[in-house]
Amino acid sequence: MSDSEPKEIETLLEEIPLNLLKEYMDGNDIKGKKTNKKVAVEAILEHAQKKGESTFIKELEKDALKMALEEMDKKVESESKQKLAKSFKSHFSKQKDKAKYFQECSLELLTKFLAALGMEEDSSKEEKADAVMEELLITGLKLGFTAMAKEFINDVCDALKISKSGTKKACVNRIIGQSYPHYLEANTPEKEEREKNDITKIKEGITFEDLYQFYAEELVEFAKQNGLKKTGSKKIMCKRILKFLAGDETTTKPLKPGQRHKKKKGGKKRKADEKEGEEKEDKEEEEKEKEDKEETESKKKKTKK
């Protein structure tokens, strides 16, 4: 086997030192002998399979659960997702050969199963069945590694001679990717959880819809840079910024000391009073929006009648 070919998951785990395998088992409450590497790996994989199956069932949509029970020739006696999941879990756990079970599922059901695992597989029924089995194990392993501290993950990366840079999630994907290459692709290039928006693009002419695409903290940063009030909901922040861009610097900026209240004893102002006043304005604006919305909905109902 060439270096470019993925390793079998058993082979990969056996490359991890026994002391780290023991630590993984302790961290995930896995019972079993820890004196033999092969036995430890078997226990880890068995735990991962069960963990993956449990997570998989929780992620299944109601229609998938109903279809699964129907294909098992079991009565669907409830519309409750919780009860459907409990029923499916009970019957699924009795399947001695899980691989055979998935092979016998319909193509439509397998597609729903993969969707629950966050996968899209444009392939044959047999390949989809194999993919479900594979993803169950991967899901369990990912959960197991994610439960461990970053220091442990770094040690595993060192043992496997792979990069330990980036987040814990990125490193876990890199470890899993040694056996399942599509998880390596998730790290190439390694990106942040979300891309930041460029607040310099907030200029006159921007629409409310485009402005609303910015994250709340980005709107607050823009307000801070331009001396605007930073209180209120995201919707209010957007409206305030649009008013500011249109030239309104009176209602969009916080009042200066002495503008709102008369001076207190000793000539000192209380900032808390000013903040309270601003928050009151925002609250009034939010209430007005709510009233307008309710009035619009009321008119719609009357129109339908």
DSSP string for 172-241:
HHHHHHTT-THHHHTTSS---SSPPP-GGG--TT--HHHHHTS-HHHHHHHHHHTT----S-HHHHHHHH
Cα–Cα distance, 295 to 240 (Å, whole number): 23
Q: Classify residue 118 as left (phi > 0), alpha (psi -120 to 50) or beta.
A: left
pLDDT score at 270: 45
Task: Please count the CA atoms within 13 angstroms of the CA of 117 that sit on its side-chain side.
Answer: 28
Overall pTM surpassing 0.75 (yes/no): no
In the chain (305 residues long), the average pLDDT of successive 10-residue segments reads: 72 96 95 88 95 94 95 89 94 93 95 89 86 94 95 96 92 93 65 71 91 88 91 84 92 69 45 51 61 60 50
- Both structure tokens of 98: 């899980």
pLDDT score at 295: 63
Cα–Cα distance, 129 to 68 (Å, whole number): 14
- Both structure tokens of 201: 């693009």
pLDDT score at 281: 58
The full set of domain ranges for the chain reads 9-185, 199-304
According to DSSP H, which parts of 17-124 are helical?
18-27, 37-59, 62-71, 81-93, 98-104, 107-116
